[in-house]
Chain A
């Protein structure tokens, strides 16, 4: 199974699509219904926040996102499905939240949003929505490759006091129950998500930190290089799967 995960990078996604399942397919019918109905999905509240921020100037003499990027439905279509993506200036791949904050700092001369702030989650959800229904299409830049490899190693490496690797749960035991919840295959299809446990919105990195705490490991910091590497690997592993943002998860 673990070898399969590596092979995924080489094989056309469609050939394996039936083996891979989004986390949403493990959810109860009620939670699935909550995700599917835009008038009942609490994640849409954050999407609204993001839509408002998109066209709001951070200051009178500064440009709004929309002033440069125009209609998000056109300019941001498919963007979230491709991140993390290589950034030449940074010399490394950056996740979508960092990309948003780079625009805040470089192009709006405004302070970056804090990790997991409502504004950052709102904009991420708003951008994610512009890719909803599109296939996850990992960054094709070859310069991202070593980082993706590093992500794969992290995914397979045992960690924490409980000494568990991501792969042991999400490849070897996916579909089984762990203390009440089903272990999903860890595909980043719906992020940011409205998680019932959080009673709020959270990023993929918050989800990964939860998993790391779960095995009593010191979680990587938000935006840490390791986080971006893990994200890159998870996106490649889920290549071709459909973006569901804003997802709802238990």
Chain B
């Protein structure tokens, strides 16, 4: 499983706009690059990222080879209620990973 760094504030006030940062270990092999033997390495990238907040999608991204290795995404959402964020990365070669983080909203 790929390592991830996820930063969600542990708590927030209702209605506050919070920033969420995510980073996942992935080579994002472009499919344009020759390997050691001179042949082009097959593309191996993360193509989609989605973040749900208590089941509802609050942010999503479609990624292409020009996203840097170990993709980083930072975005915002309104803290509406206590609950769980679910982060899902999907990509080439059946790559799929889900991580969660919780927030308490007062």
Contacts and interface: CB of A to CB of B under 8 A. Distances in A.
Q: Indicate yes or no for A touching B, C-beta below 8 A.
A: yes
B23 to A, nearest CB: 6
B5 A39 contact: yes
Looking at chain A's contact residues, is the secondary structure mostly helix, strand, loop, or mixed? mixed
Interface stretch (A3-11, A40-48, A214-222): A40-48
A199 B72 contact: no
B68 A45 contact: no
Interface residues of B, number: 15
A145 interface: no
B21 A39 contact: yes
Interface size class of A (residues with CB under 8 A): 10 to 19
B100 interface: no
Contacts, number: 35
B25 interface: yes
B12 interface: no
Contacts of A46: 3
Interface of B: 3-5, 7, 21, 23-25, 27-28, 68-70, 72, 74
19 contacts: A38-B5, A39-B5, A39-B21, A39-B23, A40-B5, A40-B23, A40-B72, A42-B25, A42-B70, A42-B72, A45-B4, A45-B5, A45-B24, A45-B25, A48-B3, A48-B5, A199-B70, A200-B27, A200-B69
